Chain A
Amino acid sequence: MTTAPAKAGWRFRQPSVIPGFGLTLGFSLAYLTLIILIPLSGLIWRSAALGWADFWAIATDRRTINALEISFGTAFFAAAVNVVFGTIVAWVLVRYSFPGRRIVDAMVDLPFALPTAVAGIALTTLYAPNGWLGSLLAPLGIKVAYTPLGIVIALIFIGLPFVVRTVQPIMEEIDKEVEEVAATLGANRFQTIARVLLPGLAPAIVTGFALAFARGVGEYGSVIFIAGNLPYKSEIAPLLIVIRLEEYNYAAATAIAAIMLALSFAMLLVINLVQTWSRKRYG
């Protein structure tokens, strides 16, 4: 049962008649420790052992900086594209009824379900100079495959469901009366959307953006085929980690991973802050 309160009123958990707390929490913690905490602390230990000078040398290496810039830049751009189109897709799915709506809705989850390697080779084939879309774009002088643009395309594919699935449920909850009130107060449709609906959706949109962005930064499988992987030009950070590992340069791999992790946690923090803020404000 409950341990006796150590200090007056402080309890680790509130008492409950439901059994199994110790067993389930114990097992969960043991599992998490083995699978996540020990390996992750290994990474932290490794990067700490590196020493500041070495760490700094790796972090400021031109190739590292370029890889991080490419990863974060393309992920940002792709997430921005997804915010625009993902919101439109969500709106169409929530508000309009059309034959096959259910199928279209299900298809949005394809990037979750399709293994990234499959997506990678499919997109590469599609956008290669002789591919279905690549051959259309080539005469216009647009090269997609084997350029940073290709990375963006892959990350748009990967990130789309994050935006749609974050925004969609919030859209479904919009109270129709709010729009009707706006209309009775004389707002036209555009004003209603811009001034009444979008601000309410903003936290969800920001969250969707952040999720798509975070996923894009770390993405590997779908990108490496289409990116061309030219150092300094189209080499993403996760790939650089793999390359350093293959060179048995554990130190460099660890350092880059540590930087990426730190940036990802900062992202996670931002997401949480946005959510807390919006909960406080909008309930």
Chain B
Amino acid sequence: MADPEIKSYAPRQESLSAAVTESRPAKAVLMIVSFAFLGIFLLLPLIVVFNEAFAKGLSDYTEALTSPDTRSAIYLTLLVAAISVPLNIVFGVSAAWAIAKFEFKGKAFLTTLIDLPFSVSPVISGLVYVLLFGAQGLLGAWLKAHGIVILFAVPGIVLATIFVTFPFVARELIPLMQEQGNGDEEAALSLGANGWQAFWYVTLPNVKWGLLYGVLLCNARAMGEFGAVSVVSGHIRGLTNTMPLHVEILYNEYNAAAAFAVASLLAGLALVTLVLKTLLEMRYGAEIAATRGH
């Protein structure tokens, strides 16, 4: 076994010899095509968000953001993230421990199962809970008899959010912990540490940046999820409207400026996420493991 290889995300810096690189004009064409494509498809939409948000001036902007409905949407979004992200952290760490530290039958299947939400339409992610908890759902009658409200209420939104976001932490940690192997934990155990101590003092510090990376992505998706939440929320203003849903309502009411004002907050969140993500990759690239993107 070799020492854990240190992977760097820096591009290859050595200049390629003339024989193995494109001619200058070809390079220029490729770069122009790339920048134009990224500019039109990524940059312009981002600019539009902020442009429209401030189109009617700063006072309209702040007014849109301080309206009671917006404030309750912000509150609900934070609440949903505050519940679902920690739960997904516990799940992610736990699943990564089981999958990365042990060899067992059915491991590949379990890993595939964890990836499942990525290949299911968010609308279907919401639908399954409607089928389960809705009035016509499997548990609908029972829930009603016991006065438990899940659908069109916060618990349903939280469940749908957990469904679409739980792979993020696990997917980040599994390859990272697999790459690090069991050596450090074995060393800790041989020195007398118990399982919790080995995890707390050794494993966790080893994966903390990867964990943070996964949490960052998980949180961005949890706060921004639209499709799944839209299906289970019922769109009750001031009660079950998250920020993305509120954007939709405002937009459909032809209140574009207000919609973009709320959208600008979410875009800001996305930008902060990207900046932190990039910083993590630059600073701790080797400790976040080979998995970039998703």
Contact = CB atoms under 8 A, between A and B. Distances in A.
Interface of A: 11-14, 16-21, 23-25, 27-29, 31-32, 35-40, 42-43, 45-46, 85, 88-89, 91-98, 101-102, 104-119, 121-123, 125-126, 131-133, 153, 156-157, 160-162, 164-166, 168-169, 172, 176, 179-180, 183-184, 189, 192, 214-215, 217-221, 225, 237-239, 241-242, 245, 248, 250, 253-254, 257, 260-261, 264-265, 267-268, 272
B46 interface: yes
A89 B225 CA distance: 27
Contacts, number: 323
A215 B164 CA distance: 13
Contacts of A98: 31
Contacts of B44: 126, 132-133
Nearest to B135: A248
A32 B113 contact: yes
A13 B103 contact: yes
Given A95-B21, A248-B136, A264-B119, A43 B227 contact: no
A114 B230 CA distance: 17
Contacts of A105: 278
Interface in B238-258: 243-245, 247-248, 251, 256
Contacts of B117: 36
Contacts of A217: 121
A265 B265 CA distance: 35
Nearest to B107: A13
A189 B34 contact: no
A157 B37 CA distance: 10
| Most chain B CB within a 10 A radius of its CB, from A36, A105, A118, A166 | A118
B223 interface: yes
Interface of B: 11-13, 16-17, 19-23, 26-27, 30-31, 33-35, 37-38, 40-46, 48-49, 52, 90-91, 94-95, 97-98, 101-105, 110, 112-114, 116-124, 127-132, 134, 136-138, 159, 162-163, 166, 182, 185-186, 189, 194-195, 198-199, 217, 220, 223-227, 230-231, 243-245, 247-248, 251, 256, 259-260, 263, 266-267, 269-271, 273-275, 277-278, 282, 290, 292-294
Contact of B186 (A17, A28, A214): A17
A46 B103 CA distance: 36
Contacts of B256: 121, 125
A117 B34 contact: no
Contact of B49 (A93, A122, A179): A122
A89 B34 contact: yes
Nearest to B182: A18
Nearest to A85: B37
26 contacts: A11-B105, A14-B102, A16-B182, A31-B94, A35-B163, A43-B124, A95-B16, A110-B46, A112-B293, A113-B274, A115-B223, A118-B270, A133-B40, A168-B292, A180-B20, A189-B23, A189-B26, A214-B119, A220-B121, A225-B248, A238-B124, A241-B124, A242-B123, A248-B136, A261-B120, A272-B112
Given A28-B94, A107-B42, 6 more contacts: A14-B103, A92-B31, A109-B293, A114-B46, A115-B247, A218-B122
B123 A238 contact: yes
B167 to A, nearest CB: 10
A43 B127 contact: yes
A67 to B, nearest CB: 12
Given A14-B104, A32-B113, A166-B293, A21 B217 contact: no
B11 A109 contact: no
A275 to B, nearest CB: 12
B42 A218 contact: no
Contacts of A28: 91, 94-95, 98, 110
A239 B244 CA distance: 17
A230 to B, nearest CB: 16
B101 A116 contact: no
A108 B43 CA distance: 10
Contacts of A92: 30-31, 34
A201 B254 CA distance: 46
A94 B12 contact: yes
B102 A253 contact: no
Contacts of A245: 127, 130, 231
Given A46-B131, A95-B21, A107-B274, A88 B124 contact: no
A221 B251 CA distance: 13
A-B complex: 4 closest residue pairs judged by Cβ atoms = A165-B293, A218-B121, A115-B224, A13-B104
Contacts of B23: 189
A241 B228 CA distance: 12
A262 to B, nearest CB: 11
